[in-house]
Amino acid sequence: MSPHRLRPLSFLIVSLLMLAFSETSLSARTASRVSEFKLANGMQVVVVPDHRAPVVTHMVWYRVGAADEPRGTSGIAHFLEHLMFKSTDKIPMGEFSKIVSRLGGQDNAFTGHDATSYFQRIAKDRLGTVMEMEADRMVNLRLTEKEVLTERDVILEERRSRVENNPGAIFDEQMNAALFMNHAYGVPVIGWEHEIAKLSPQDALSFYKHFYAPNNAILVVTGDVTPEEVKPLAEASYGKIPSNPAVGPRSRATEPPQRAARRLEYKDPRAGKPSFHRYYVAPSYVTAEPGEAEALDILVKVLASGSTSRIYQRLVVKDKIASSASGYYSGSGKDYGKINLSAVAQDGQTLAAVEAGIDAVIAEVREKGVTDAELERAKSAYIAEYVYESDNQARLARRYGWELVVGRTVADADAWPDKIAKVTTADVQKAAQKHFDLRRSVTGYMLPEAPEGGGQQARQPATPSRS
C-alpha cells in the first residue's frame, strides 16, 4: 500500500473526527473552562479548573529568557533559575524544594530563550503555601557571593556534562549559531562556557531586580480550583508585591535578510554514524501570517514526522539510503521559528546521497503539494494530541503559560485545533514554496571522525543538576 494513502477504516475515523470538530468546535468547549484576571500590580492570572482529583499545578512564568540577556552575559537567565532555589529571609538555604516535598508535592523549573518558569504540583489545600513561597522569592532572594560562585561552578559542570560530552549538542549549538546571524536564538540557553565563567553576583542581582516582578509575570493554576478560590490567594501573596516601572516591552535584535545558504561540517569520533541535518529559519506562531504557522505544522508533519512521513518512506523504506529520518517545525518562539530535518546514513551510503534524497522530496512537495489523505491524517494526529493534552493539568498549565509569555492569548491557544482543521492542501504547498528556501538555511554534516589538528577530548560527566 502506498505510504501516502490511509486505510479505509482509518480514513473513516479521521473523517468522523473532523466532522465532530466542525459541528462543535473544540475551542468553544475548552474556552469555557478557562478564566483570566489581572491583579492590581499587573500580574496576569489564568485558572483552568479540573475537579477530578484534589490536586493543582501552580506555575509562575516570567517574560524573560536567554534571548533577553545583555550581550556578553550568556547563561545568566538559566543561572538565575538555579539561584532561585537558594534562600530568602524566610526560607533557609536549599530548603525551597525540601519544603515542597514535605508538603507532599513536587517542584522544578526551566529556562528557554523566551521564558523562565517555576512550578509545583501540590495538594489543593497547600496551594496558598506554595503561592506565598513563590511570591517570597520573586522579590526577597538572597544572593551571597559564596552561593553565587558555588552555583556558577555547578552550571559549568552541567554544561560540560550535557554539551561538551555530547557531540550532538555541540553540533546543534554550531548549527543554531550559523542559522541566526544576529538574533539571540543563536546563543545557547545554557550559555557559552567562557561567558558563564565570568558571571558575577552583580550580574545575577541586576538581572533579577529588573525582570522578576509581578508585572512581568504570569500565574497559571490548573486543577481542583475555581477562579473564586484562586483570586483571594493570589491577592494575598503576589498582590502585595509592587510592580516594577522599569519593566518595559522586550527589545531584541532582529535578523538581517538571509541571502546565502550556509554549510558546516563537524567531526567527532564519538558521533556515531554519519548524519545529515538542515535547519531553516521560519516564522513562528507569533510572527506568521494568519494560517501560515498552522500550514507549516501540517507540512512538516507530512514531510518528516514519523515512519509514515514522505522523507522516511523515500529514504529509509524505498531507497534504503538512510537508517532513520525525522523532522519537526518549532513555532513556539516569540520572534522566529525553525524547521529541522535530519537523517542518519545507512551503512555504505554517503551523506551527499541522503541530502539529494531529501532535496528531491522537498522539490516534489513544492511542485505537487500533499494529498488530501496526508492532510487529513496530519490534522487528526494533531487534534488528537491536543485532546490528550487537555486531559493533563500540567500540560494545560504549560500550554496557556507559554502562549501568554510570548505575547499570544488564551483565545489563541483555544482556537488552535479549529485553525488546524481549516488548513488546505493549497496552504501547505504555499508554505513549502515560501519557506523551503536554502538562502535561509544551514546544512550540516556530522561525521564520526577525528577533526584535523587533534581529536575531541571527552570529559567525565558531572552529576546532573536542575535544568
Domain residue spans in the chain? 30-240, 257-447
Using one digit for the tens of pLDDT, what is the confidence trace for 329-375? 999 999 999 999 999 999 999 999 999 999 999 999 999 999 999 99
E-assigned strands of 51-90?
A: 55-62, 87-88
pLDDT of residue 1: 33
pLDDT of residue 409: 97
Say which range, 17-31, 307-321, 362-376, has the weakest mean pLDDT.
17-31
pLDDT of residue 4: 37
pLDDT of residue 26: 57
pLDDT at 151 over 80: yes
Of 81, 151, 294, 355, the active-site residue reads 81
Check residue 75 and give left, alpha or beta (phi > 0: left; psi -120 to 50: alpha).
Answer: left
> Which are the contacts of 75, defined by CB distance < 8 A and separation ≥ 6?
66, 69, 155, 188, 189, 190, 191, 192, 195, 196, 199
235 is a catalytic site residue: no
The answer to whether domain 30-240 has CATH 3.90.180.10 is: no
The average confidence (pLDDT) of the chain is 92
Using one digit for the tens of pLDDT, what is the confidence trace for 206-265? 999 999 999 999 999 999 999 999 999 999 999 999 999 999 999 999 999 999 999 999
The alpha carbon of residue 194 and the mean position of all alpha carbons in its chain are separated, in whole angstroms, by 25
pLDDT of residue 16: 47
**In CATH terms, are 30-240 and 257-447 the same topology?**
yes
pLDDT at 35 over 80: yes
Q: What's the CATH class of domain 257-447? A: alpha beta
pLDDT of residue 24: 52
> Are 103 and 52 a contacting pair, CB within 8 Å?
no
> Are 219 and 43 a contacting pair, CB within 8 Å?
yes
Collapsing DSSP to helix, strand or coil, 281 comes out as strand
Using one digit for the tens of pLDDT, what is the confidence trace for 376-421? 999 999 999 999 999 999 999 999 999 999 999 999 999 999 999 9
Return the ∠ at Cα 208 (arms to 137 and 75), rounded to 5°.
115
pLDDT of residue 292: 98
pLDDT at 3 over 60: no
pLDDT band, residue 464 (cuts 50/70/90):
very low
φ, ψ of residue 326 in degrees (nearest 5): -160, 175
| Cα separations in angstroms, 113 against 66, 183, 188, 412 | 4, 11, 8, 21
Percent of the chain with pLDDT over 90: 88
pLDDT band, residue 18 (cuts 50/70/90):
very low
Task: Take residue 118 and report the three cell numbers written for it.
Answer: 517555576
Cell match 516582578: residue? 213
pLDDT of residue 29: 56
Mean pLDDT of 34-38: 97
Please tell me the distance from the alpha carbon of residue 182 to that of residue 255, in angstroms, as a whole number.
Answer: 5
Nearest alpha-carbon partner for 220 in 356, 84, 349, 405: 405
| DSSP letter assigned to residue 361 | H
Using one digit for the tens of pLDDT, what is the confidence trace for 83-138? 999 999 999 999 999 999 999 999 999 999 999 999 999 999 999 999 999 999 99
pLDDT at 459 over 50: no
pLDDT at 33 over 90: no
Task: Print the SS3 string covering 382-405.
Answer: HHHHHHHHCCCHHHHHHHHHHHHH
The H or E element containing residue 278 is strand 275-282
Q: Both ends of the chain: CA-CA distance in Å?
A: 44
Please tell me the distance from the alpha carbon of residue 331 to that of residue 434, in angstroms, as a whole number.
Answer: 16
User: Can you give the pTM of this predicted structure?
Assistant: 0.90
| Cα separations in angstroms, 218 against 46, 60, 255, 273, 337 | 8, 6, 28, 44, 23
pLDDT of residue 30: 55
pLDDT of residue 451: 82
Q: How would DSSP label each residue in 135-166?
A: HHHHH-EE--HHHHHHHHHHHHHHHIIIIIT-
Percent of the chain with pLDDT over 70: 90
- What is the CB neighbour count within 10 angstroms for residue 453? 5
